């Protein structure tokens, strides 16, 4: 029997984290296990604050009943670089023992899962719930926040396409996702965007200009080019300074390529009056969770508590073939992310 369990959110915040904490709390209450909320990721376990309530807080049901639909994370989140060192993890384990916390639910991405794996090795039972908008975990079809982030992007791109259409003006839109192109690809597919650029597939500026020119030749004067924020890491070297200055556009030497700069280059390469750019940014992370994310949070939160109650640990929860599942952390972390290249090719070929 677990005396108490702890729950924390770690890494980047993602819509659905609160819904998962709510589900953990409701489940813990039903199974009669007291729940401690650990603040700011692993920082709370290192007891950095002067007021203990700022690090560890008993989570009564009434505290979390109202947060399920809220964006962000009530428990706060933060990086905790010290946690990569064994000496600090020992401090964390001492905190857990002192608080009589016998199991931990960690909601975060692969970095947070690595932290949980280390704690498991030190005898602390942990269960991970994937919480990241990036959808970059290879073992799971979805992670909390991905669907919400995509829906925000779809909403933005539809609005951008309305004004693009009105002005016969192509538009470059940058979405988040770090090294993963899933948000960009799903957004492009869902909005009928004509071109998508992702970190997983090598590309060149000239190739994107060719694609845009093909759209223009077909009479499509308002194509949308969706960029994943990490796409510049797979871009063929391009002399941005040389190109722009030779076309009369001021540019600093060594200025990196960006969505705005790409729009500027495409405008000149394709002979357009205007190509505009929008970076959607953090509003992708701050939306209320969609039904899909909330439903996953509900199931995952309950499963996490049941696993700990039943003495099963060192696992992460995910989604496979549309069903909530779990597997050992170690195995999950070694699964390679499988980018949907066929879908990517389809978007770029029509």
Residues annotated catalytic, as ranges: 134
Q: What is the residue whose two structure tokens read 């508590």?
A: 305
**Distance from C-alpha of 39 to C-alpha of 202, rounded to nearest angstrom:** 40
Cβ atoms of 25 and 61 within 8 Å: the answer is: yes
**Distance from C-alpha of 190 to C-alpha of 309, rounded to nearest angstrom:** 40
* CA-closest candidate to residue 112, choices 4, 13, 244, 232: 13
Query: Quick one: 42 or 139, whose CB is closer to ligand ADP?
Result: 42
Cβ atoms of 3 and 100 within 8 Å: the answer is: yes
Least gap, CB of 131 to ligand ADP (angstroms): 7
**Cα dist from 74 to 7, 69, 144, 257, 288, whole Å:** 11, 11, 15, 36, 13
Cβ atoms of 24 and 301 within 8 Å: the answer is: yes
Backbone angle region of 248, left / alpha / beta, with phi > 0 → left and psi within -120 to 50 → alpha: left
Least gap, CB of 17 to ligand ADP (angstroms): 11
Least gap, CB of 116 to ligand ADP (angstroms): 8
- Which residues bind to ligand ADP, rule: CB under 6 A? 10-12, 41-42, 79-81, 83-84, 108-112, 114-115, 118, 132
Query: Quick one: 110 or 200, whose CB is closer to ligand ADP?
Result: 110
Query: Quick one: 43 or 348, whose CB is closer to ligand ADP?
Result: 43
CB-side exposure of 145: number of CA atoms within 13 Å?
Answer: 33
**Distance from C-alpha of 240 to C-alpha of 252, rounded to nearest angstrom:** 9
Query: Quick one: 170 or 301, whose CB is closer to ligand ADP?
Result: 301
Between strands 323-328 and 315-320, the pairing is antiparallel
Cβ atoms of 152 and 280 within 8 Å: the answer is: yes
Query: Quick one: 81 or 273, whose CB is closer to ligand ADP?
Result: 81
Least gap, CB of 244 to ligand ADP (angstroms): 35
- Residue 184 tokens read as 């960009």
């Amino acid at each position: 029997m677990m005396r108490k369990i702890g729950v924390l959110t770690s890494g980047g915040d993602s819509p659905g984290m609160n819904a998962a904490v709510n589900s953990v709390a409701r489940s813990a209450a039903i199974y009669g296990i007291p729940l401690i909320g650990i603040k700011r990721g692993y920082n709370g376990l290192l007891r950095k604050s002067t007021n203990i309530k700022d690090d560890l807080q008993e989570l009564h049901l009434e505290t979390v009943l109202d947060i399920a639909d809220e964006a962000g994370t009530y428990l706060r989140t933060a990086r905790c670089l010290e946690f990569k060192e064994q000496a600090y993890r020992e401090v964390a384990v001492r905190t857990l023992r002192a608080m009589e916390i016998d199991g931990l639910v960690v909601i975060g991405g692969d970095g947070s899962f690595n932290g949980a794996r280390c704690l498991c090795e030190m005898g602390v039972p942990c269960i991970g719930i994937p919480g990241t908008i990036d959808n970059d975990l290879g073992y799971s079809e979805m992670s909390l926040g991905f669907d919400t982030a995509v829906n925000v992007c779809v909403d933005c791109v539809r609005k951008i396409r309305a004004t693009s259409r009105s002005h016969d003006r192509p538009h470059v839109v940058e979405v988040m996702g770090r090294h993963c192109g899933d948000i960009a690809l799903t957004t492009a597919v869902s909005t009928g965007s004509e071109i998508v650029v992702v970190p997983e597939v090598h590309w060149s500026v000239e190739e994107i200009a060719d694609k845009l020119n093909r759209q223009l030749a077909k009479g499509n004067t308002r194509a949308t080019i969706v960029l994943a924020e990490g796409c510049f890491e797979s871009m063929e070297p391009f002399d941005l300074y040389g190109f722009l200055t030779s076309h009369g556009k001021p540019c600093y030497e060594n200025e990196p390529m960006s969505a705005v700069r790409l729009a500027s280059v495409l405008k000149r390469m394709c002979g357009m009056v205007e190509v505009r750019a929008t970076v959607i940014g953090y509003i992708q992370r701050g939306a209320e969770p969609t039904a899909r994310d909330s439903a996953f949070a509900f199931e995952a939160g309950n499963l996490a508590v049941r696993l700990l109650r039943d003495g099963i640990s060192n696992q992460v929860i995910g989604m496979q073939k549309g069903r909530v599942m779990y597997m050992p952390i170690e195995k999950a972390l070694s699964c390679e992310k499988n980018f949907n290249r066929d879908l990517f090719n389809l978007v770029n070929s029509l």
